[in-house]
Amino acid sequence: MILGNKQYNRSPVPQAYIWVADYDDNTALTEYDLQTKKSNDFYSIDKDKLVSFGIIGQGSQLYYNVANGVFHINQDRFSISYIANDDELPLTGRAFLYNDIIQFKNGSSEANLNTRVKEGKFKNSIDCFNFGYKKTMNLNDVNINYQSIFSLPVNDIPYLQIKITSDQDLSGQLVIRKNGIVFEKIDAPLKANHAGLINWELK
């Protein structure tokens, strides 16, 4: 396994961060092989063997636990729940498998166009690294589609993209816990079959 082992916190290639899929047999698949630097296909990840998924680089490990959906951001753990009708519905920490993984990068290109030459020069860059998951669950007879993505902009504050869709109208609050302690409550009413989206900056 790589995630959780502090010696693995650097990308083997010029790209600042690479994704890592840790497996239950103590092996792992990385976006770029740590020795050969050969690239691996995201779609070749064996989701049935996953125990954690995230990124490493720049001296950091950022990942989530597939068994409970809790994010581990360096030394801190972030968990999410939703309070509706005085009932707290844990969106993470359940005995589910959160193995429907998501990862993508936001990028940009800058062009230096020179009319005196046939081709301009383009500079491509990755502006934000993203990873997370989506999960469908039934909690207290409420069907919920839940998606949580950790976004790490290169030049800005990292944040969690939290997206919830319910099959019922709910007038409730989103609860964010940091290291097991309630850190913030956010009013988050939901309209049936309409997605509610919150970008929460890490604090």
pLDDT in tens, the chain (203 residues): 899 998 999 999 999 999 999 999 999 999 999 999 999 999 999 999 999 999 999 999 999 999 999 999 988 999 999 999 889 999 999 888 999 999 999 987 666 656 555 555 667 789 999 999 999 999 889 999 999 999 999 999 999 999 999 999 999 999 999 999 999 999 999 999 999 999 999 98
Q: Where along the chain do its domains lie?
A: 18-201
Distance CA 74, CA 61 (A): 6
**126 and 155 in contact (C-beta within 8 Å)?**
no
The SS3 of residue 3 is: coil
What is the model's pLDDT at position 201?
Answer: 96
Distance CA 37, CA 6 (A): 20
What is the model's pLDDT at position 112?
Answer: 63
The SS3 of residue 40 is: coil
Distance CA 200, CA 182 (A): 14
Distance CA 74, CA 60 (A): 6
Angle at 156 between CA 151 and CA 158, to 5 degrees: 30
Q: Which helix (H) or strand (E) holds 199?
A: strand 196-201
> What global pTM score does this model have?
0.91
Q: Is 199 left (phi over 0), alpha (psi -120 to 50) or beta?
A: beta
